Structure 1
Amino acid sequence: MKIGLYFGTFNPIHIGHLTIANHLAEHSDLDQVWFVVTPQSPFKTKSSLLDNHQRLEMVYRATKDYTKLRPSDIEFGLKQPNYTIDTLTYLGEKFPEHEFSLIMGEDNLKHFHKWKNYELILENYNIYVYPRLSDGKVNTKFNNHPKIFNISAPIMELSSTFIRQEIKAGRNVRPMLSDNVWHYIDEMNFYK
């Protein structure tokens, strides 16, 4: 099975994340997309970042009605700070029957050459890149790379930071979140 790994804090997961993941699950050769919830670093205390399991719960609630989208807490048990290459290696050992690929935004591709063991990632994994509104700066180092696939997914410029700020300001963010996630945030009084 071909699995696309979509990494993020998902603080909170919103309709932009779901739209991109669903688009990839429906319009590429990926069979599933796993939302890999990035744990809070034990060395950083960021008050706006919800507990790992609360964010995982939001991802679970957001994806439960989608057969091709899954939450993943795979990084919760890995040594911190964690690097993508370590997660990929661990997943390959734990699920040898699956073929894993990375999903990232164009903005992340610009800095990909700074990632730990990025050459090893490129050698062994496909990368699906979704479009973002660009500042015009492009990393041409990866143009026409055989392992990098640009996906014509809808451009979603919705951010979790914006959603948190709007909630704190007492504004209605319901259209930006799946109903299950909105109800959970509202019920738990998150981000206020």
Structure 2
Amino acid sequence: MKIGLYFGTFNPIHVGHLIIANHMAEHADLDQVWMVVTPHNPLKKKSTLLDDYHRLQMVHLATEDFPKIKPSDIEFKLSQPNYTVNTLVHLQEKYSSHEFSLIMGEDNLKSLHKWKNYEVILAHHDIYVYPRISFEAENLELKNHTKIHLIDAPVVEISSTDIRHNIKKGKNVQPLLHHKVWDYIDHNNFYKK
């Protein structure tokens, strides 16, 4: 089975994340997309990052109606700080029959050469890249690499940061969130302080 790994803090997960994940599951040669919730780094200031469990629960709520999209807490079990290359090794050992790929925006591809052991990642894993409005693929050095696949996905510029700020200001953000995610946020009074 070919799995696309879509990493993020998902603080909160919004419809933009779902649009990208679903597009990759339906239009790239992937069998499933796993939404990998990135744990809180204990060495960093927590600020507005919700507990790992709450962010994972929101991903569960947002994806339960999408059979090709699955939440993953795989990084919760790995020592911190963690690197993507370590997660990939761990997943390959745990699920040896699966083939794992990465899903990222053009902005992340631009800095991929700064990632720990990025050459190892590129040697063993495909990377599916979705467009971002603020970046031009023409300027990306790695875009012609055989493991890089630029996917003509919808350009979605929705920001979890903006959603949190607008909730704090009392603005209506419901159209930007899956209704179950909005209910969970509202019920728990998240992001209001």
Supply the distance in 2 between the matched residues of 1:145 and 1:135 (Cα, whole angstroms). 18
Match of 1:35 in 2: 35
Mapped pair 1:160 → 2:160: yes
Q: Partner of 1:50: helix, strand, or coil? A: coil
Which ranges in structure 2 are unaligned for 5 or more consecutive residues?
Answer: none
**TM-score (structure 2 length as normaliser):** 0.97
Match of 1:57 in 2: 57
Match of 1:117 in 2: 117
Supply the distance in 1 between the matched residues of 2:82 and 2:142 (Cα, whole angstroms). 24
Q: Is the 8 A contact 2:40 2:52 kept in 1?
A: yes
Supply the distance in 1 between the matched residues of 2:176 and 2:19 (Cα, whole angstroms). 11
The residue type paired with residue 37 of structure 2 is: V
In the TM superposition, residue 169 of structure 1 has moved relative to its aligned partner by 0.4
Cα 1:137–1:28 change in 2 (3 A) is: closer
**TM-score (structure 1 length as normaliser):** 0.98
Supply the distance in 2 between the matched residues of 1:108 and 1:140 (Cα, whole angstroms). 10
In the TM superposition, residue 138 of structure 1 has moved relative to its aligned partner by 5.4
Q: Is the 8 A contact 1:7 1:35 kept in 2?
A: yes
How do 1:93-108 residues align onto structure 2 when only pairs under 5 Å count?
A: 93-108=93-108
| Number of aligned residue pairs | 192
Match of 2:141 in 1: 141
Supply the distance in 2 between the matched residues of 1:130 and 1:175 (Cα, whole angstroms). 22
The residue type paired with residue 19 of structure 1 is: I
Task: List per-residue Cα deviations over 1:101-146 (Å, max 9, x = no partner).
Answer: 0000000011000000000000000000000012558543213111
Q: Partner of 2:144: helix, strand, or coil? A: coil
The residue type paired with residue 150 of structure 2 is: N
Supply the distance in 2 between the matched residues of 1:123 and 1:49 (Cα, whole angstroms). 33
Q: Partner of 1:121: helix, strand, or coil? A: helix
How do 1:52-91 residues align onto structure 2 when only pairs under 5 Å count?
A: 52-91=52-91
Supply the distance in 2 between the matched residues of 1:32 and 1:70 (Cα, whole angstroms). 7
Which ranges in structure 1 are unaligned for 5 or more consecutive residues?
Answer: none
Supply the distance in 2 between the matched residues of 1:98 and 1:178 (Cα, whole angstroms). 29
Supply the distance in 1 between the matched residues of 2:143 and 2:112 (Cα, whole angstroms). 13
